[in-house]
């Protein structure tokens, strides 16, 4: 059984080394080579409903068994997960969205980078890992939000093409309103919220999902200006006559 820190902690640690003013948050661990029964036997507390996730009672950290996923239905709930001791770290990382989110540290602190995430961090690029990227419509919102957080980053052209495919194929129509609202509100707290809306407009999602919205350049500039005074921006955005954001206030 081996444990690895994965995802956001790794990304943000490397960004901090690159000079970004960012603090890594909670650690996410992936466990390779263990079964759910073995985890329970070792004293870890099971909490995952859809796939095996456990809490370490010593420190409260969350550990998930390495897993693969297969598309089985519509939307981001339409996946079947497979987790057993044979699933490798590389297979687990392959199911993630962006290369910068698919790196790991082993317990000695050595970086494991199977898909070029560190190079994309260096080059300030948001890039998908595999073409299965289009199977999860939430990735449309996540990439837009990462663009708002890391405004110095560009989206790789081939990744933008896949984002547009998520919209044109109708896969984005399967997004549930609760998740859309959640991602929109989180985007309003990022360093440059206007990038979120710009990306969604470029993908065609805003026109498809919110045809009445009219986000002019001046409105987007105002969003970023007010950002420095009001981190949430919720009341400001809700007051824009040009943007009917009643769904954001549910």
Query: Is residue 107 within 8 Å of 3, Cβ to Cβ?
Result: yes
**Whole-prediction pTM:** 0.84
Digit-coded pLDDT (tens) for 77-134: 555 767 788 999 999 999 999 999 999 999 999 999 999 999 999 999 999 999 889 9
Residue 17: both structure tokens together: 């080394």
pLDDT of residue 244: 42
Domains along the chain?
Answer: 1-123 (3.30.460.10), 124-250 (1.10.3090.10)
Query: Is residue 92 within 8 Å of 122, Cβ to Cβ?
Result: no
Which residue's structure tokens are 């919110």? 210
C-alpha to C-alpha distance for 143 and 196, rounded to whole angstroms? 8
């Amino acid at each position: 059984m081996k444990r690895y820190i994965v995802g956001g902690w790794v990304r943000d640690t490397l960004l901090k080394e690159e000079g970004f003013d960012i603090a890594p948050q909670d650690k996410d661990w992936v466990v390779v080579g263990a079964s759910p029964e073995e985890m329970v036997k070792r004293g870890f507390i099971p909490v995952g409903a859809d796939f095996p996730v456990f809490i370490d009672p010593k420190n409260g950290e969350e550990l998930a068994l390495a897993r693969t996923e297969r598309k089985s239905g519509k939307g981001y709930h339409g996946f079947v997960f497979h987790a057993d001791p044979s699933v490798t770290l590389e297979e687990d990382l392959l199911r993630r969205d962006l290369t910068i989110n698919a790196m790991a540290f082993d317990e000695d602190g050595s970086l494991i980078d199977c898909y070029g995430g560190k190079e994309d961090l260096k080059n300030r690029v948001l890039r998908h890992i595999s073409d299965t990227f289009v199977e999860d419509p939430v990735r449309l919102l996540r990439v837009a939000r990462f663009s708002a957080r890391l405004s110095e980053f560009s989206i790789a052209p081939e990744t933008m093409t896949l984002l547009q495919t998520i919209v044109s194929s109708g896969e984005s129509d399967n997004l549930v309103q609760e998740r859309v609202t959640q991602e929109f509100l989180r985007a309003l707290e990022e360093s440059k919220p206007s990038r979120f809306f710009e990306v969604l407009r470029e993908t065609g999602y805003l026109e498809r999902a919110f045809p009445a919205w009219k986000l002019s350049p001046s409105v987007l500039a105002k969003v970023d200006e007010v950002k420095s005074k009001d981190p949430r921006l919720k009341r400001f955005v809700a007051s824009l006559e040009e943007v009917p954001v009643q769904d954001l206030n549910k």
